[in-house]
Structure 1
């Protein structure tokens, strides 16, 4: 297990853990915000020694997916999975009308640490609302920890949900795991290459 997610709902809410996720929903008494949902998200790194890149957190319709297993990874996901840079992944996701929110965590989540933040979206999306979280395992060539489209529409106000994030090989780079080909702290003394446009895994 790489992380944990938990979500808690208020009339605005959600919570996420990276390797583990917690989602919580909250209420908002401000009349100007009555049509909004806010989720408190906490991403926790439960690994023994694997730092996680800044988490990409997305609220979206159930028809949208961050990726499809068995299919070629997008160039934006490759950049995230090889170098930990989620900026293009998030910006390109927002180009899709089914994606309502796409935010980045503040920084690396070290083993045993966590990051919490709040995300909001319109209440009109609640019926098909889903959550995705993606983060790179930085002591790897192209591995990610991800929650790929978890339905959260049934979450009640002040209720929490918890999830473990699965680990995926994106298939964009050979798994040499050497100090020259991974960007994380385990590669100290090597070239510590991150993203490389070439795709040299046995299966793309």
Structure 2
């Protein structure tokens, strides 16, 4: 299967999940990086340390959970886009509940300590592509950042969940040219919405990306389902609603990442 390279992004909403149609990605504009300097470091000094290029390959390891297009950020070690055991911030909540990457893009553009970032150009489906979507099960993104970016964060929605994500929080980048590092990413429940497992409460592509057809769903958060929890390991699919664990369930790890330093 051909690699799906990095697509440029802007502050606009990145994932169109409307109606009963298959989820697609709407991307335009330049690659994004940090904006205002929020941490007091000397930006010019860091940029003078030279750009480093990386290839980040993200793969879906589940048999029945689609991912939204993977979002990857290269950043300084103090950055925490999400943290297990803490309440989810609004960008993480929007990704987890609605597949909405717009607030995450805004966070990245406003945070100078995030030195480079990008989003894949398609949802990642299981390798068997059970919905016959033609979408890939992996994507390769190439990013460049100055030497102050020493860590990586990865985030995607587990599409057929109420508020599930698959991700990595602040893991090291390889230091040497031609070195690579392998990571496995688990699924997390961000604790902001009850797990009804009903299609009417999930984003529309929850059915189409796996079954190839389906109706209903929503791209808006339902206040009646709101929870006041913290990010925790995902309990998996229980079968209490419309989701069959044999179809939509998974074993950890849910995702695979290989990070290579190119130069």
TM-score normalized with structure 1 length: 0.75
Residue segments in structure 1 that go unaligned for 5+ positions in a row: 1-32
Over the residues paired in the alignment, what is the CA RMSD in angstroms?
2.1
Alignment pair present for 1:118 and 2:142:
yes
Alpha-carbon distance in 1 for matches of 2:191, 2:216:
21
Q: Does the 8 Å CA contact 1:91/1:102 hold for their aligned counterparts? A: no
Find the residue that maps to 2:96 and give its secondary structure.
Answer: helix
- The answer for the alignment partner of 2:171 in structure 1 is 150
- Would the aligned equivalents of 1:78 and 1:195 in 2 still touch at CA under 8 Å? no
**Is the CA contact 1:131–1:151 (under 8 Å) kept in the aligned structure 2?**
yes
Paired residues for 1:94-133 under 5 Å: 94-112=109-127, 113-123=137-147, 125=148, 129-133=150-154
Q: In the alignment, does 2:181 pair up with 1:161?
A: yes
Q: Judging by fraction of residues, say which structure has more strand.
A: 1
Q: Tell me, in whole angstroms, the C-alpha distance in 2 between the residues paired with 1:56 and 1:197.
A: 24
User: Match for residue 191 of structure 1?
Assistant: 216
Is the aligned partner of 1:62 residue 2:77?
A: yes
Q: How many aligned residue pairs are there?
A: 168
Offset at residue 120 of structure 1 (A): 0.4
Q: 2-side partners of 1:110 and 1:63: how far apart?
A: 32
2:200 to 160, 180, 194: 180
Is 1:201 matched up with 2:227? yes
1:49 aligns with 2:64: yes
Which deviations, in whole Å up to 9, do the C-alpha atoms of 1:58-106 show, x marking residues without a partner? 0011111111222221111111111112122122123122111121111
* Dislocated runs of 4+, deviation >6 Å: none
> Using the alignment, how far apart are the partners of 2:214 and 2:61 within structure 1?
26
Cα pair 2:199 2:216 within 8 Å, conserved: yes
Q: Distance in 2 between matches of 1:182 and 1:159?
A: 40
SS at the partner of 2:103? helix
Which sections of structure 2, spanning at least 5 residues, go unmatched? 1-47, 128-136, 231-263
SS in 2 for 1:180: helix
Answer yes or no: is the 8 Å Cα contact 2:95–2:157 preserved in 1.
Answer: yes
Shift of 1:151: 1.4
User: Residues 197 and 73 of structure 1: is their aligned pair in 2 closer, same or farther, counting only changes over 3 Å?
Assistant: farther
Alpha carbons 2:199, 2:206 under 8 Å: kept: no
- Tell me, in whole angstroms, the C-alpha distance in 2 between the residues paired with 1:194 and 1:140: 12
Q: Which has the larger radius of gyration?
A: 2
